[in-house]
Amino acid sequence: MTVGPFTPLDDRFHFGEMSDRWWITETCWFSFCCPERRLGGWLYIMVRPNIGTLAGGAWVWDDSAALPWEVLYSANYSAMRFPRDQDLTDCQLPTGVAIRMLKPLTTYDLRYRDEELIDINLRFTAIMAPHALGTTSSSLGHLSHFDQFGHVEGTLTLHGNEIGIDCLAMRDRSWGPRPEHRPRRNAYVTGVSRSERGFLAVANPATHEDTVAYGFLLDQGEVRDLVRGSRQVERDPGTGWITKVTIIATDEEGRRFRAEGTPVSRIVLNRHTFIDVNSLVRWEMDDGAIAWGEDQDIWPVHEWSRFRREARTKPPHGPAPRA
């Protein structure tokens, strides 16, 4: 597992250094948002080189709908043929996603177009170096993986209407084994303010609250790993969706951090054997700043089904079910 430092070679595919296992996977993900419209978005690439398939696409949602067939735009391809003559530094993929690296590990032009439905034209400029996922205790296991906040600006033209994008948001990269039957419950939570103070917390479920397995704080350009923490949630008893989320954590220097978040919109992503109820979240940070980010509430399908069946058997005026 690569834990850094990362080099310009990590802007490219890693096929030559991975095994011939069936489930070897490489991903590339960029997020963006327009908070005043409660609008969130993703561009996502997932390649399985030993199978020869390309998956992913684009998602855009707001508070008008959450189901993928009702949101503003959703295209989630599962098994396109992967073009072997392209690399992530300059690609135009059959899913519609295009990436052009302008400065290694820092600046990328992003495009996505689907006929007259949608046209995305963005630039991501990093505000921090890529930060490694350095533990196997998270849900991402033995994948090589990094995360990176950046400034995203450009335009989204959706159903003929142009929307300006100017936000701070996360991207990540991963490469390694990712079998479809691997999922376990976890949460991937991010937030970043205009002052460039932000956090990432990857949390695993526990009895009373989720425990932070990995994460970092970004503060005035300095990145410090989280060593412990919790993710506490409140849920709507009718849907199971999160209505409030609190991250409390301590970094490697013993400094405590707290952020309270309110989801303003969400999309439910059904990704083979698990679902990701992904919320755009408005955060109130402990320094008084307002931040924006996401809460990815990730469940194996059978566990979510059992959770919701049990909730439906509770008295109508009983306490809201917890995960």
Burial of 61: CB neighbours in 10 Å, binned 0-12, 13-18, 19+: buried
Which tokens is 272 given?
């083979």
Specify the residue for token string 């196997």: 136
C-alpha count within 13 angstroms, C-beta hemisphere, residue 278: 26
In a domain, 4, yes or no: no
In a domain, 13, yes or no: no
Q: Residue 30 domain-assigned?
A: yes
**Alpha carbons 154 and 163: distance in angstroms, whole number:** 9
Enclosing domain of residue 257: 19-312
Paired with 56 in beta bridges are 45, 77
* Tens digits of pLDDT across the chain (323 residues): 445 689 999 999 999 989 999 999 999 999 999 999 999 999 999 999 999 999 999 999 999 999 999 999 999 999 999 999 999 999 999 999 999 999 999 999 999 999 999 999 999 999 999 999 754 444 444 568 999 999 999 999 999 999 999 999 999 999 999 888 867 899 999 999 999 999 999 999 987 789 999 999 999 889 999 999 999 999 999 999 999 999 999 999 999 999 999 999 999 998 778 999 999 999 999 999 999 999 999 999 999 999 999 998 876 555 555 55
pLDDT of amino acid 313: 86
**For position 136, what pLDDT does the model report?**
41
The answer as to whether 307 is a domain residue is: yes
- The count of domains in the chain is 1
In a domain, 197, yes or no: yes
Q: Which residues contact 160 (CB under 8 A, 6 or more apart)?
A: 116
Would residue 27 count as lying in a domain?
Answer: yes
User: Exposure string (b/e) for 120-142, b if CB count within 10 Å is 16 or more?
Assistant: bbbbbebebebbbbeeeebbbbe
pLDDT of 317 reads 54
> What pLDDT, on the 0 to 100 scale, is given for residue 133?
76
Looking at residue 133, the DSSP 8-state letter turns out to be -
Q: Phi-psi bin for 115: left (phi > 0), alpha (psi -120 to 50), beta?
A: left
Task: Give the pLDDT confidence score for residue 192 in this predicted structure.
Answer: 98
11 in any annotated domain: no
- Sequence-distant (6+) residues with CB within 8 A of 146 are 4, 6, 10, 130, 131, 132, 133, 172, 173, 174
Return the number of other C-beta atoms located less than 10 Å from residue 159's C-beta. 9
* Cα separation, 107 vs 186, whole angstroms: 30
Residue 321 lies in a domain: no
Say which residues have a Cβ less than 8 Å from residue 239's Cβ, sequence separation at least 6. Answer: none
- By three-state DSSP, how is residue 44 classified? strand
pTM of the complete model: 0.92
Look at residue 73 in the predicted model and tell me its pLDDT.
98
